[in-house]
Structure 1
């Protein structure tokens, strides 16, 4: 598949990796998964200690606050709950995509877990699958050490604790990472199916759809190959392209039918004071910080956004494969141009794991002990910040 193989990869390397059995692939990923699990356990342990000192429950902080409550309510009672706030905001549960509450309902029906704990179980299990998918992408493109570093970097994000909450970020990232991997290995039907599921999980599922569509376009359009798109060898590609948007479009269409408006989902988001304005509201927010006593916070935000964009440009310069660039670029664009509660922006960027590849490659060049010390120190900082963050007053 044109444009997906690394030019510097040894001949046959990708085919051999793609053809591994599941046990062999899991064995190869085991060190990365153990490092990921250890990092997340550290985060939960620090949170538990902090919460105990503050007189709170670490379990409740992870499973039954903010968005977690909306998901569990949908799982228990279905859609239909709306809050009308004094400031005029209208918070409807239709803003939340259905895959996580569906899974919560299924698990709570089959096990003794209630919906909140079922959501926590989904998050913890899917975070491991997300880590495995992220490792598979990094390993395929740059080798095992880069794949391992990429997984641990994703684990030690400042807001990495959200990967252990009853939120949808871990589930979405698992579907997205494996969807991108399916594109890298030419599994079009798998990629389309995973894109459809990602589209049932979060609005940003359109990023995975875009990766499928644009990768297919890049494979078919050069040299007029689109004229032979219906040939047998391309039918699986076209099936994947057709499957990809079904989840996202299906839910948005259902909300439209339920609200009686084609733009129903956009209206629901407006009720939450969310939506997309090209980044104008975010720019005003940062400008307000820079103009007042919170100048250091505003400067920190500017530096953080600049660093993210610089990392993405570096991915482009390194000629990472199109599926990775399209997916990461779409996630960044959607997160940075959204308006609403700006405290959630770091969480919205959690699925953008491909932008960590340049850092992972740099860490992989260090001696193993030095890389482990760097990641361990960052992991401890992430655990402390996560505990501080969840013990605060605002939602992540």
Structure 2
């Protein structure tokens, strides 16, 4: 078998042609979701565009883009919602696009989400294709597009932008492009707090590669090198120099760390200032205790008990998928990234309804399902994926016209 770490990455044009079926399929699934949303919203006398661009977090991002940081809302219960909770890369892009086009800040956020979602789909395909082949890559992209909360990928939120940066950073690690991996991880860290998961993946792969005689991570996390050790800045065959790996690792955490430190200085609360800001939103990390209490609280009546059973089943499914990733022997950076995203999503103490959305960037969890679908006859996998896409479109329209995000 060809070593995935040393296989040369295809030129951009050839890579785009290879990814075209996945991107076209992704566009079709998301278009279906938007059409169903538009019809559903019209029937309820609501604007689908407003739902996608001017509610919940979209408003906060647009306000940061237009007015900068410093805005906050004080609630009657004493909580303080500060826009410092929102990382800056999406508002920066909204401001830039607003400056060079007629788009409003909200419209610019929508445009960024649409472009970023395609970039994310391409990145997911690139990772899956490199590891398991093009059919698995297409299936992974379509599964990601058809997640129950996949409609968020088309909202003026930061999930699509973050997933694009994360996927391509992980691909760069697998390809041994360490400065690119670190730079993309840096940008991911400027997009969402969970950007630290991307930095952790880069660091895990880097440490493993140093331990394994300077080799680049392969299909099982770090290549079992059959070559003689390489030292200094002389790259191993198809590998990277020590300096390149170190540079990638150095860059990876700078985005998230830089913003968190800036918030601490801006608020005058020191390095923990960002945690204070999140506490004002009743967000935090408690190891899942608050979420467990929330689930237990569902078992007070039959209707809510059914919801509690559904929540438990969802958590168990996520755990089973991660276990499948481990048994699949996914590369170490993917396991670290998916594990960190999952832990941060499930163990956060606030906004329990947001957990499916927070799990959306953990695309490696879908790879075992994608490989299984790729092994089916094309007609059968198309039937399964088509059914899932239709269900996702209906659920997304229902969800966004109801409680929806945050």
* TM-score, normalization by structure 1: 0.94
Q: Aligned to 1:146, which of 132, 136, 146? A: 136
Tell me, yes or no, if the aligned pair for 2:94 and 2:108 is still in contact at 8 Å.
yes
Higher mean C-alpha displacement, 215-224 vs 193-202: 215-224
Instruction: Report the Cα offset of residue 229 of structure 1.
Output: 7.6
Instruction: Report the Cα offset of residue 141 of structure 1.
Output: 0.2
Match of 1:220 in 2: 210
Q: Equivalents in 2 of 1:220, 1:13: separation in Å?
A: 18
Tell me, yes or no, if the aligned pair for 1:14 and 1:140 is still in contact at 8 Å.
no
Q: Equivalents in 1 of 2:68, 2:255: separation in Å?
A: 18
What are the Cα deviations for residues 76-98 of structure 1, in whole angstroms up to 9, with x where unaligned? 11011100011221100000000
Helix, strand or coil for the counterpart of 1:146?
helix
Q: Equivalents in 1 of 2:399, 2:405: separation in Å?
A: 9
What are the Cα deviations for residues 307-335 of structure 1, in whole angstroms up to 9, with x where unaligned? 11111111111111101101001000110
Match of 1:383 in 2: 393
Q: Equivalents in 2 of 1:230, 1:336: separation in Å?
A: 42
Q: Aligned to 2:198, which of 188, 197, 208? A: 208
Helix, strand or coil for the counterpart of 1:86?
coil
Q: Equivalents in 2 of 1:380, 1:334: separation in Å?
A: 29
Match of 1:286 in 2: 295
Q: Aligned to 2:319, which of 309, 315, 327? A: 309
Q: Equivalents in 2 of 1:284, 1:78: separation in Å?
A: 37
Match of 1:7 in 2: none
Q: Equivalents in 1 of 2:52, 2:256: separation in Å?
A: 27
Structural RMSD (CA): 1.6
Q: Is 1:54 aligned to residue 44 of structure 2?
A: yes
Match of 2:264 in 1: 256
Q: Equivalents in 1 of 2:383, 2:62: separation in Å?
A: 39
Tell me, yes or no, if the aligned pair for 2:4 and 2:174 is still in contact at 8 Å.
no
Q: Equivalents in 1 of 2:2, 2:214: separation in Å?
A: 28
What are the Cα deviations for residues 267-307 of structure 1, in whole angstroms up to 9, with x where unaligned? 00000000100000000000111343301111111111111
Instruction: Report the Cα offset of residue 395 of structure 1.
Output: 2.9
Tell me, yes or no, if the aligned pair for 2:33 and 2:393 is still in contact at 8 Å.
yes
Q: Equivalents in 2 of 1:12, 1:374: separation in Å?
A: 32
Match of 1:354 in 2: 364
Instruction: Report the Cα offset of residue 103 of structure 1.
Output: 0.1
- Correspondence list, 1:28-177, <5 A: 28-177=18-167
Q: Equivalents in 2 of 1:292, 1:91: separation in Å?
A: 33
Q: Equivalents in 2 of 1:290, 1:142: separation in Å?
A: 42
CA gap of 1:324–1:393, structure 2 versus 1, over 3 A, is closer
Q: Is 1:277 aligned to residue 267 of structure 2?
A: no
Structure 1 residue runs of 5 or longer lacking an equivalent are 1-9
What are the Cα deviations for residues 184-208 of structure 1, in whole angstroms up to 9, with x where unaligned? 0100000000000000000000000
Match of 1:4 in 2: none
Flag the structure with higher helix content: 1
Tell me, yes or no, if the aligned pair for 2:173 and 2:202 is still in contact at 8 Å.
yes
Q: Is 1:268 aligned to residue 277 of structure 2?
A: yes
Q: Equivalents in 2 of 1:43, 1:309: separation in Å?
A: 27
Q: Equivalents in 2 of 1:297, 1:288: separation in Å?
A: 10
Give aligned pairs, total. 385
Q: Is 1:392 aligned to residue 405 of structure 2?
A: no
Helix, strand or coil for the counterpart of 1:338?
coil
Tell me, yes or no, if the aligned pair for 1:277 and 1:337 is still in contact at 8 Å.
yes
Tell me, yes or no, if the aligned pair for 1:315 and 1:325 is still in contact at 8 Å.
yes
Helix, strand or coil for the counterpart of 2:297?
helix
Instruction: Report the Cα offset of residue 223 of structure 1.
Output: 6.5
Q: Equivalents in 1 of 2:287, 2:318: separation in Å?
A: 17
Helix, strand or coil for the counterpart of 1:339?
coil
Match of 1:295 in 2: 305
What are the Cα deviations for residues 26-51 of structure 1, in whole angstroms up to 9, with x where unaligned? 00000000000000000000000000
Match of 2:254 in 1: 246
Structure 2 residue runs of 5 or longer lacking an equivalent are 216-228, 235-240
* TM-score, normalization by structure 2: 0.92
Q: Equivalents in 2 of 1:370, 1:312: separation in Å?
A: 25
Match of 1:330 in 2: 340
Q: Equivalents in 2 of 1:151, 1:353: separation in Å?
A: 9
